Amino acid sequence: MQKKLISILVDGVSADTFEKHAHRLPNMRRLAERGLRVRRLKSTVPATSVPGRATMLTGVGPQVHGIYGNHIFSGDAFVTPLAEDLLAPTIATHASRAGLDVACIGHALIHPKDASVYVSPWWLRGYMTGSRFSKMVTPEALAASRAIHDPEDRLARAGLTEMDAFKDAADGGAPHLISGLALDQFLNRAVVALLGSDRAPDLLLTEIEMPDAFQHYLGYDSPAGIWSVEFADMLIGNLLAVLERTGRSDDYVIAVASDHGHGPVDTAIFPEAIIPDMNWMTEGASLYVSLKTPGDLERVAERLLPYGVELWQDHHVPESLRGRVAMFVAPPRHSFEERPSDASGSDASGPLLATGRPQLISTHGFRPGSPEDDRMFILSGAGIAPQIIEEADADQFTPTLARVLGLPLQPYAGPSLITEESHP
What mean pLDDT is predicted for residues 119-127?
Answer: 90
The pLDDT tens digits of the residues spanning 323-333 come to: 999 999 999 99
Same domain, 65 and 200: yes
DSSP one-letter string for 114-142? G-SEEE--TTHHHHHHTSTTGGG--HHHH
Backbone angles phi, psi at 234, to 5 degrees: -60, -40
Q: What is the maximum alpha-carbon separation in the chain?
A: 64
Q: Are 104 and 119 in contact (CB under 8 A)?
A: yes
Cα 179 from Cα 170, distance rounded (Å):
8
Same domain, 381 and 337: no
User: Quick check: 369 pLDDT over 70?
Assistant: yes
Residues 6+ apart with CB under 8 A from 263: 14, 220, 333, 362, 363, 364, 366, 370, 372, 373
User: Quick check: 256 pLDDT over 90?
Assistant: yes
Q: Are 14 and 372 in contact (CB under 8 A)?
A: yes
pLDDT tier for residue 291 given thresholds of 50, 70 and 90: very high
Same domain, 235 and 123: yes
Same domain, 258 and 279: no
Same domain, 191 and 259: yes
Residue 151's CATH number: 3.40.720.10
Same domain, 348 and 384: no
Cα 178 from Cα 237, distance rounded (Å):
21
**Confidence (pLDDT) at 343:** 44
DSSP one-letter string for 294-321? TTHHHHHHHHHGGGT-EEE--TTS-GGG
Cα 203 from Cα 91, distance rounded (Å):
9
Q: Are 54 and 109 in contact (CB under 8 A)?
A: yes
Same domain, 29 and 178: yes
Q: How many domains in the chain?
A: 2
Q: What is the domain extent for residue 300?
A: 266-359
Same domain, 183 and 326: no
Q: Which of 199, 209, 152, 187 is nearest to 4 (CA)?
A: 199
The pLDDT tens digits of the residues spanning 159-217 come to: 998 887 777 665 556 678 998 999 999 999 999 999 999 999 999 999 999 999 999 99
Whole-number mean pLDDT of the chain? 93
SS3 content of the chain, % helix, strand, coil (to 5): 40, 20, 40
Same domain, 126 and 225: yes
Same domain, 79 and 222: yes
Same domain, 202 and 324: no
Residues 6+ apart with CB under 8 A from 421: none
CB atoms within 10 A of CB 297: 14
Backbone angles phi, psi at 83, to 5 degrees: -55, -35
What mean pLDDT is predicted for residues 368-378?
Answer: 98
Same domain, 207 and 225: yes
Q: Which of 399, 362, 389 is nearest to 11 (CA)?
A: 362
